[in-house]
């Protein structure tokens, strides 16, 4: 479903909370979003802005699968299919995101939120950056943007990601377009680290038809149906980015990051600006879920993998539960090795049998309590995530553990007993 259609869908199914009261982009909207995390909220009256703000639109697995019009259990299959068989986007000549072409650039007119008092500035958190390389084509990637002037941001551009690679290849300066207010298909595709040379907008197109339009001033193609497009250039100049809260709900360190100069803004009529709570459920889901098919594929190469869940409590990035159908005792160890190889930021991995509900932490802990032996765990040191506050700040070295919580030996002694099934309603 397109962004606006999905807002309407949420309104009709009474999931959407509509706030008509005037609200401030300074801390207030973020606080309301946090208090209703897991639910879409539309703020129709933002003080000093003609834009509405929506947040929490894709903040649960149910919302994401509804927006993609698929069943909850189909996610890994559908995502894997789209990653493998990405399709070319239709290029259109005129698009909703260019209904209004602003004559000048004034970022103060956008409802860019301040989330926490200690934040380095106001932040765009839902922006998807589109860049291009003469040989590798386009790339789509999230970059949080801290506003540092009427026409300037600084962006967190992680080393090794598509944007960083293109920027280095271009000699330190690069054209960029930032798309805000996108469909679930585009939001998920933007979080996928596809092979270099794969345009993630084509993955979005396989999830749901995603036409693109050429920017007004740059040779870049953006989702035609998005709400707002910021066109500009990443400069060689760097400034302090942060402090800002990341996935772990802790403050990320301040780093020197490139400046982005915005030179053109286009948007839809009555634009809706999308906000994404840093460290909130949507941030977590968007980070973790696209990594599940990657782990699933890697584990499937070494044993029979049934499912993978990146868990919310593990910041939706650092912990995975891998469910396997064990044929040999070595399968769990092979699954652990494959999972760590596939997801380099993974810190703790638990492997469970097919009878464990991998979306239920109590069931996972039960498997740990009754099936795991700590001295069977694989414990090792390796480079981990830059998001892990306990890792070495300079080298990112961290300790990792892979725990085999599968049954060993006689299965009968590990199986949870099942009582006779009755209908409690019959007993009054
Ligand atoms: C909500 C959200 C916010 C993100 N913020 C950033 C960010 O600020 N900087 C960054 O480099 N990556 C960020 N990421 C991660 C990248 O979008 C993700 O790793 C991407 O798939 C990289 O793909 P690429 O290697 O093809 O560029 C974020 C991801 C999500 C889901």
Pairing of strands 174-180, 128-133: antiparallel
Answer yes or no: is the C-beta of 166 below 6 A from any ligand 1 atom.
no
The arithmetic mean of pLDDT across residues 257-281, rounded, is 97
CA–CA distance, 356 with 407 (Å, rounded to integer):
11
Say if 170 falls within a structural domain: no
What is the average pLDDT value for the chain, to the nearest integer?
Answer: 96
pLDDT at 155 over 80: yes
Residue 342 belongs to some domain of the structure: yes
Q: What is the distance between the alpha carbons of residues 314 and 101, in angstroms, rounded to a whole number? A: 42
Could you tell me the CATH number of the domain that includes residue 300?
Answer: 3.40.1670.10
**Each residue of 46-93: pLDDT tens digit?**
999 999 999 999 999 899 999 999 987 788 889 999 999 999 999 999
Q: What atom of ligand 1 comes closest to residue 187's alpha carbon? A: 31
Is 227 part of a structural domain of the chain?
Answer: no
Query: Which of the residues 119, 164, 246, 331 is marked catalytic?
Result: 246
Pairing of strands 17-19, 41-43: parallel
**Cα–ligand 1 centroid distance for 142 (angstroms):** 4
How many domains would you assign to the chain? 1
In a domain, 351, yes or no: yes
**Catalytic annotation present for 93:** no
209 CA → ligand 1 middle, Å: 22
Give CA–CA dist 90/202, Å, rounded.
10
DSSP 373: -
Query: Is the C-beta atom of 248 inside 6 A of ligand 1?
Result: no
- Which residues 6+ apart lie within 8 Å of 262 measured at CB? 105, 107, 151, 152, 153, 230, 231, 232
Residue 358 lies in a domain: yes
Please state, as a whole number, how many other Cβ atoms lie within 10 Å of the Cβ of residue 217: 15
pLDDT at 307 over 80: yes
Q: What is d(CA 179, CA 230) in angstroms, rounded to the nearest whole number?
A: 7
Pairing assessment for the beta strands 100-101 and 255-267 based on DSSP bridges: antiparallel
Contact yes or no for 215/222 (Cβ under 8 A): yes
Distance CA 183, CA 276 (A): 13
* Cβ-contact 178, 229 below 8 angstroms: yes
pLDDT tens-digit series, residues 352-364: 999 999 989 999 9
196 lies in some domain: no
> Within a domain: residue 112?
no
Alpha helix locations (H) across 276-393?
A: 281-288, 292-300, 331-342, 361-371
Q: Is ligand 1 within 6 A of the CB of residue 158?
A: yes
Whether ligand 1 lies within 6 angstroms of the CB of 275 is answered as no
Q: Which of 79-83, 179-183, 240-244, 258-262 has the lowest mean pLDDT?
A: 79-83
423 inside domain: no
Q: Which residue range forms the structural domain that includes residue 349?
A: 287-414
- pLDDT tens-digit series, residues 320-377: 999 999 999 899 999 999 999 999 999 999 999 999 999 899 999 999 999 999 999 9
Q: Would you say the CB of residue 315 lies under 6 angstroms from ligand 1?
A: no
Model confidence pLDDT, tens digit, residues 164-207: 999 999 999 999 999 999 999 999 999 988 888 999 999 999 99
Q: How far apart are CA 35 and CA 43, in angstroms?
A: 14
């Amino acid at each position: 479903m397109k962004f606006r259609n999905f807002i309407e869908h949420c309104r009709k199914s009474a999931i959407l909370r509509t706030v008509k009261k005037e609200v401030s982009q300074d801390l207030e909207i973020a606080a309301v979003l946090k208090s209703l995390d897991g639910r879409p909220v539309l703020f129709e009256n933002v003080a000093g802005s003609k834009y509405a703000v929506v947040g929490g639109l894709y903040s649960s697995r149910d919302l994401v699968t509804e927006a993609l019009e698929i069943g909850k259990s189909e996610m890994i299959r559908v995502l894997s299919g789209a990653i493998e068989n990405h399709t070319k986007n239709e290029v259109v000549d005129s698009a909703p995101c260019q209904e209004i072409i602003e004559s000048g650039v004034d970022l103060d007119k956008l409802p860019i939120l301040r989330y926490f008092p200690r934040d380095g500035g106001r932040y765009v958190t839902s922006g998807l950056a589109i860049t291009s390389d003469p040989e590798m084509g386009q790339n789509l990637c999230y970059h949080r943007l801290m506003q540092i002037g009427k026409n300037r941001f600084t962006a967190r551009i992680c080393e090794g990601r598509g944007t960083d690679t293109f920027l280095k290849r271009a000699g330190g300066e690069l054209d960029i377009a930032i798309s805000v207010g996108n469909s679930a298909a585009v939001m998920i595709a933007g979080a996928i680290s596809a092979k270099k040379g794969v345009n993630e907008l084509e993955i979005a197109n396989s999830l749901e038809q995603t036409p693109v339009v050429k920017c007004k001033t740059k040779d870049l193609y953006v989702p035609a149906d998005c709400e707002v497009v910021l066109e500009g250039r990443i400069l060689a100049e760097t400034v302090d980015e942060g402090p800002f809260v990341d996935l772990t709900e802790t403050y990320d360190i301040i780093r020197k990051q490139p400046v982005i100069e915005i030179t053109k803004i286009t948007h839809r009529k009555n634009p809706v600006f999308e906000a994404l709570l840093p460290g909130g459920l949507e941030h977590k889901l968007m980070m973790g879920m696209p990594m599940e098919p990657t782990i699933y594929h890697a584990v499937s190469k070494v044993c029979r993998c049934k499912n993978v869940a990146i868990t919310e409590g593990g910041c939706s990035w650092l912990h995975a539960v891998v469910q396997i159908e064990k044929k040999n005792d070595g399968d769990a160890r092979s699954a652990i090795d494959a999972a760590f190889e596939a997801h380099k930021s993974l810190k703790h991995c638990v492997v469970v049998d097919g009878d464990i509900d991998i979306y239920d932490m109590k069931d996972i802990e039960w498997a740990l309590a009754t099936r795991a032996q700590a001295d069977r765990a694989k414990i090792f040191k390796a480079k981990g995530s830059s998001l892990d506050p306990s890792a070495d700040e300079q080298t990112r070295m961290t300790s990792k553990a892979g725990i085999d919580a599968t049954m060993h030996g006689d299965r009968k002694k590990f199986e949870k007993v099942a009582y006779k099934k009755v209908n409690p309603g019959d007993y009054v």
